[in-house]
Structure 1
């Protein structure tokens, strides 16, 4: 088994060292392109991230490796000159970065569109439908890719056998993701709810609530305080986008553009378009109200 370099926060390292069964990755649709990606849910203290995204930073060209030195405390004079260490062939750096479950809920719930025609369902039933629809879509994409690859073979006599996947299958990790308590709590921010009884709550995804949740994200990300807290990333982009004598209005508009582009890393184009249309409509209403 090949080894990789992974950076993780201390609580996660303690979790791994303890051999906790909770440290299990889930393979879920990526928020932007819906292709499978790895995410790690973990038991965390209140106020700390409960979902982490596995990111990979790899060199753009050429092969790279990691050269790891041995533990200096374990070295002895007899072994110090032997060059005992380790070479990790995979030169990429893997990171575990916090991510809001909201972003993963978007592509999963979007499989149920149009939401207005959806009945109110218990959260478990909702995610069961999503798991089936996500699994079917992933299977269709795989089958289409395999057929296309086979058709590209110039030598018809040597065309590869196409191994297709049953499209009537569930994406099991989608169901596991939906069963997590913190995911179901976040789901409530995106749904209208109907309490059928004291013990049964049903939900239906709401476009208005989803846009409102994204607007909260965008407003926070575009605030001056957020940019001041990230001078080497967001702050640097802002400095490049503005002249030194830019007005406060120009700076606010530039921050919002940069924040929207950043949000696009975890939101698909269709939801960004919905958010932009909502913002434009709200701006027009404010302008009309100011004139009246």
Structure 2
């Protein structure tokens, strides 16, 4: 077993929490993806590895790691996961939707998720209530059975709120502003960039619906350029954005970082 020190960057609020690893389908690709749940505080984190091996090193209190790579854990709104799961369950044909027993997901184990992981997600009661209220038409069949189906009007209303230009991360504001000196066009550019950012957590079905809400986006090459800037902004995050954390019991280092919260 390698004794190489691993660097994990987590939000300050989760730096002292026990995190459970979950296997759930990514809401955009549908591929099995690792998430980490702070079940007590009902927070879901997604992980990404920043490969800086050979380009940077880590210097800590009495230790040095030649490998400058790190795993970043940042909060993701669990409603994106719910939307992906419920879309798969509730879609009937075309734009028709059927009622489903949400708790039946607890029995699902397949190539993209396992029942235990879904159970942890469903047991986050506040998250579950928020998801069903924001995304679904819900009916109580009995005291212990509740069914729900996707409500497209609710979903698109929720997604439009996600695309509020004022929510655009500061690191991307200059990219959108550089496109034009006209204030209204700059606002539209920020909104388009927010919609593109949100679409990275949506299936093609909902991406198409969301873009249609804004009249569609035609300047694909421009959008691709902004996507490259987003990736670079994450991959080369400045070291001064981190604050020192505490050493974990197994000798690893736990660092905390201020992150943009997608909630």
TM-score with structure 1 setting the length? 0.61
1:104 aligned residue: 81
After superposition, give the CA deviation of every residue in 1:10-58 in whole Å (9 maximum; x if it has no partner): 332222xxxx4xx21112212221222222221466xxx7111112222
Give runs of aligned pairs for residues 136-285 of structure 1, distance below 5 A: 138=112, 172-188=116-132, 189-218=134-163, 220=164, 222-223=165-166, 226-227=167-168, 230-231=169-170, 233-242=171-180, 244=181, 246=182, 248-280=183-215
The structure carrying a bigger helix percent of its residues is: 1
Contact in 2 for aligned 1:124/1:179 (Cα 8 Å): no
Give runs of aligned pairs for residues 70-149 of structure 1, distance below 5 A: 70-71=61-62, 85-87=63-65, 89=67, 91-115=68-92, 116-121=96-101, 123-125=102-104, 127-128=105-106, 131-132=108-109, 135=110, 138=112
* Cα distance between partner residues in 1 of 2:160 and 2:71: 30
CA 1:182/1:24 → structure 2, altered by over 3 Å: closer, same or farther? Answer: same
* Cα distance between partner residues in 1 of 2:24 and 2:97: 25
1:285 aligned residue: none
Q: Cα offset for 1:259?
A: 1.0
Q: Cα offset for 1:8?
A: 1.7
* Cα distance between partner residues in 1 of 2:140 and 2:172: 43
Contact in 2 for aligned 1:190/1:206 (Cα 8 Å): yes
**Greater relative CO, 1 or 2 (CA 8 Å, sep 6+):** 2
Contact in 2 for aligned 1:101/1:186 (Cα 8 Å): no
CA 1:278/1:87 → structure 2, altered by over 3 Å: closer, same or farther? Answer: closer
Contact in 1 for aligned 2:46/2:75 (Cα 8 Å): yes
CA 1:10/1:253 → structure 2, altered by over 3 Å: closer, same or farther? Answer: closer
Which structure has the greater CA radius of gyration? 1
Asked if residue 26 in structure 1 is aligned to residue 40 in structure 2, the reply is: no
* Cα distance between partner residues in 1 of 2:60 and 2:205: 48
TM-score with structure 2 setting the length? 0.67
1:66 aligned residue: 57
Question: SS of 2:156's equivalent?
Answer: helix
Structure 1: where are the runs of 5+ without partners?
A: 72-84, 139-168, 282-292
The structure carrying a bigger strand percent of its residues is: 2
CA 1:101/1:170 → structure 2, altered by over 3 Å: closer, same or farther? Answer: closer
CA 1:239/1:202 → structure 2, altered by over 3 Å: closer, same or farther? Answer: same
Q: Cα offset for 1:217?
A: 0.9
Contact in 2 for aligned 1:65/1:87 (Cα 8 Å): no
